Amino acid sequence: MSRPTGLRSLSHGLRVVAAAAALTLLTAGSAQAATVSQAEASAIQIAALSTPLIPSSDATNDGSVPTVTDSLDGAIPLFPGVTLTNTGVYSQTAVAGDDGTSAACAGIVGNGGALSVGDDGTCSATTSGPALVNLPSFAVAGTGFRFRLEASSLYSYCTAGPADGTSGFSAGSTLANVTLIAQTVILGIPGPQVRIPVNANGSFSIPAPFSSVISLDVNKVDTTGPQTSATALHIGLGPNSSIASIDIGRSVCGDNALTADVPGLPLTPGGIATAAATVAVLGGSVYAGRRLRKDHAAAA
């Protein structure tokens, strides 16, 4: 015998409520699965190159593994148009954790050296000698210009926490024994070399005529969050950077997940309340259904 219309309607309603409850709980769980932390590290970048001089290191974590690390090290390559060999190595590391934190470190150090990121996101450098980097030569109004960088270490670093957090956001640069060596060439005759110490606080000046054809911007930092970044040294070659635009040591951390979306943490209070309310409605409906069936049986 078929069930009364009231029972059939209630049965359908129960299925709808049950589906809604399952969807609520599933949605709350899927928010955790969408967690992402990320970081990027680039030792040397030259703008406008169709192929990067050095591929960047990128780490992205979707919460499925504890840590994702992407590192790259090697001899400092020749810049376009340069034939003089460089010395030293580039080093870059990006780290993304499933706890909503990330860190990065990138730059150059002397031969035998390297940069590494510790468990707490701290960047450390080892080096056994100076790195020498020959920049592209060029001429302006009949005067040739040559530039070379020397550095024990030249790198940037950053960390980032969960996007809505209030701690874990940092960025900075280290410039150890960095010197720009500048030289003019007139009628094929090299002039004297001019050594210009470069420090992280920017308290240096470039003398004429070099000041009109090269610009240096040091320790470009953003720590406001949810993304942090640092560029240890930006070089503009040529008047208004018309010859080349070069970044040495660029690190970017974040944006990372919200605290509530980090795996292993409880559901958000709103999610818990919604799920609880849905389950309560389901429980009440089940009880009402049982009472209705009993009343119908008694009447029969």
Taking only the tens place, the pLDDT of each residue in 105-143 is: 999 999 989 999 999 999 999 987 899 999 999 999 999
Between 292 and 115, the higher pLDDT residue: 115
**What is the rounded CA–CA span in Å between residue 109 and residue 90?**
6
Using pLDDT thresholds of 50, 70 and 90, give the confidence band for residue 291: low
232 contacts 175 by C-beta, under 8 angstroms: yes
Neighbours of 147 (CB within 10 A): 20
What's the pLDDT at 75?
A: 96
Q: Answer left, alpha or beta for residue 282, where phi above 0 means left and psi between -120 and 50 means alpha.
A: alpha
**What is the rounded CA–CA span in Å between residue 128 and residue 112?**
6
- Determine the average pLDDT of the residues in 190-212: 96
Q: Answer left, alpha or beta for residue 271, where phi above 0 means left and psi between -120 and 50 means alpha.
A: alpha
Using pLDDT thresholds of 50, 70 and 90, give the confidence band for residue 34: low
Reading the block at residue 71, the tokens are: 């590192």
Residue 18 has pLDDT above 50, yes or no: no
**What is the rounded CA–CA span in Å between residue 92 and residue 237?**
24
Residue 84 has pLDDT above 90, yes or no: yes
pTM of the predicted model, to two decimals?
0.78
- Determine the average pLDDT of the residues in 194-205: 94
125 contacts 137 by C-beta, under 8 angstroms: no
What's the pLDDT at 35?
A: 53
40 contacts 251 by C-beta, under 8 angstroms: yes
Percent with pLDDT over 90 in the chain: 69
Between 294 and 53, the higher pLDDT residue: 53
Tens-digit pLDDT profile for residues 173-199: 999 999 999 999 999 999 999 999 999
